Amino acid sequence: MQPRALIVDDEPAILDTLAGVLADGGVECLRTGSGEEALVLYAAHRPDVVFLDIWLPDRDGLATLQAIRALDPHATVLMMSGHGTTSTAVKAIKMGAFDYLEKPLTYAQSLEAFRAALEHRRAAVAGAHPEPPIFPDEGEHRLSPPPLLSLLRTGTEPQRTLRHSTVVYGLGLHSGGRTGMVLQPLPPDSGIHFLSLPSGTVIPAHVSAVGDTDYATTLARDTAQVRTVEHLLSALHAAGVTNLLVKLHAEVPVLDGSAADFCRTLEQIGLEDQDRPRREVVVDRRYEVTATGDKRLSVEPYDGFAVSYLLRYPPPIGEQFYEFTLTDFDTYKTEIAPARTFGFLRDLKMLNEVGLGSGGRLDNFILVGDDHVVNTELRFPDEFVRHKILDIVGDLYLLGYPLRGKVTARLTGHRDNVALVRQLVAVGSRPAA
């Protein structure tokens, strides 16, 4: 098999030169100028050797080294620097770097360093214990969703995952930083989980892990967190994907602010039906969350999955109503997935002050001014209410299973969606009569 190297450096000339040298030596090269992206690439491709610069614009090289080693104890990393010190080199070696190289690297030095590192890597892996389980902290079984005993039913659709792994890149909507994620298939009865690359912490896509619902849905466990999960979960819910591992740093990429790109990714990679039927949460009676003012959110029995939403904002949005029935994935892709997240010009200063919205760009959300949309043409006249439905479809997947029921929403948001999920989980977790 052709050996593979990952080169991490923010200078394009070094990326090109070093990749050319290694390619001449028969090495396949992955390249990035981002420490965050390096973690995603490593998780997806497991290169034999990493060339890692000390100085990176988005993440300290030593911190990146530590995260890669936490992800793979046998990771073989060559640190590079053009203006390092002896103390930095010593620290890198103590943290697990295989060697420390001073720039500029010569042709012979680059190949010699790679060959030595590759030999070390192969020897380490040959004498190592078997690969750790896909979930580092799994018990006697994978972290499958908690059973909702009285509401869970076996459905007619199969469980589903992806045909193979893939990588998705973009910006974090609230962090503003470059981020990426690996989507990796899982066996039946696994559920959907997020794996925090820096810490190796597994966070289930379940309401029990919800940490925050201000402006987006954030999952957390111990010191790790994953932000803005609702758009990805919405696409997975609509596509019927029940088993998946999502490896990432701290935030799902916002892409264009909708779920359309996630849908395209799922279609390009392909969905794989598995040999067990999926289980569904089947609503047995009406459940309701009553929030402040005119806000209302309820779900009632229904042979399928449907969401209606009444939205009301001052002009230029006004009052909008939309009713959506999930008949198939194509319907979701056409009617709901393209609807983008939105924000108001008057709120930007406040959002920036609390560290939110930093990744908002003119092409990944709808910016609403006092009397008109500032930055884009709407994809639908009622794009705002459709996006609210997109969020509900995603937040309700925090049940851990697809939902069978009819949802009626009025002026509600993430906090209300999560409150309804918690109510269903509380009732469903009681033993059946």
Cα torsion at 272, 274, 279, 280 (round to 10°)? 20
Residues 119 and 161 in one domain: no
Residues 216 and 282 in one domain: yes
**What pLDDT was estimated at residue 365?**
81
Q: How far apart are CA 242 and CA 161, in angstroms?
A: 6
pTM over 0.85: no
Residues 170 and 317 in one domain: yes
Does 136 map to a domain? no
Number of domains within the chain: 2
CATH number for the domain harbouring residue 50: 3.40.50.2300
Does 146 map to a domain? no
Q: How do strand 271-282 and strand 152-162 relate by DSSP bridges?
A: antiparallel
Q: Which domain holds residue 20?
A: 4-126
Please identify, among 80, 108, 126, the residue that sits at the C-terminal boundary of a domain.
Answer: 126
Q: How far apart are CA 135 and CA 341, in angstroms?
A: 32
Residues 282 and 168 in one domain: yes
Q: How far apart are CA 179 and CA 408, in angstroms?
A: 34
Residues 233 and 327 in one domain: yes
Dihedral (CA of 20, 25, 26, 27) sign: negative
Number of Cα atoms under 13 Å in the Cβ half of residue 280? 20
**What pLDDT was estimated at residue 140?**
36
Does 141 map to a domain? no
Residues 351 and 404 in one domain: yes
Does 139 map to a domain? no
**What pLDDT was estimated at residue 232?**
98
Angstrom CA distances, 322 to 294, 311, 386, stand at 18, 9, 7
DSSP-assigned letter for residue 175: T
Residues 189 and 312 in one domain: yes
**What pLDDT was estimated at residue 130?**
46
Does 390 map to a domain? yes
Beta carbons of 431 and 149 less than 8 angstroms apart: yes
Beta carbons of 249 and 227 less than 8 angstroms apart: no
Does 15 map to a domain? yes
Q: How far apart are CA 137 and CA 415, in angstroms?
A: 29
CATH number for the domain harbouring residue 254: 3.30.1700.10
Q: Quick one: 432 exposed, middle or buried, by C-beta within 10 A (0-12, 13-18, 19+)? A: exposed
Residues 101 and 172 in one domain: no
Does 76 map to a domain? yes
| Residue 414 appears among annotated catalytic residues | yes
Residues 255 and 392 in one domain: yes
Q: How far apart are CA 27 and CA 53, in angstroms?
A: 19
Residues 93 and 16 in one domain: yes
Of the listed 231, 237, 249, 414, which one is catalytic? 414
Residue 328, Cβ neighbours under 10 Å: how many? 10
Residues 299 and 419 in one domain: yes
Please identify, among 76, 109, 126, the residue that sits at the C-terminal boundary of a domain.
Answer: 126
Residues 290 and 391 in one domain: yes
Q: Quick one: 264 exposed, middle or buried, by C-beta within 10 A (0-12, 13-18, 19+)? A: middle
Does 287 map to a domain? yes
- Residuewise pLDDT in 10s, the chain (433 residues): 799 999 999 999 999 999 999 999 899 999 999 998 999 999 989 999 999 999 888 888 888 998 898 888 889 999 998 765 667 777 887 888 888 888 888 888 899 899 989 988 888 877 754 444 445 444 433 455 566 668 999 999 999 999 988 888 777 665 556 677 889 899 999 999 999 877 788 999 999 999 988 888 999 998 889 999 999 999 999 999 999 999 888 889 989 999 999 999 999 999 999 999 999 999 999 999 987 788 999 999 999 999 999 999 999 999 999 999 999 999 999 999 999 999 888 776 655 544 444 545 556 789 898 889 988 999 999 999 999 999 999 999 999 999 999 999 999 999 999 999 999 999 887 765 5
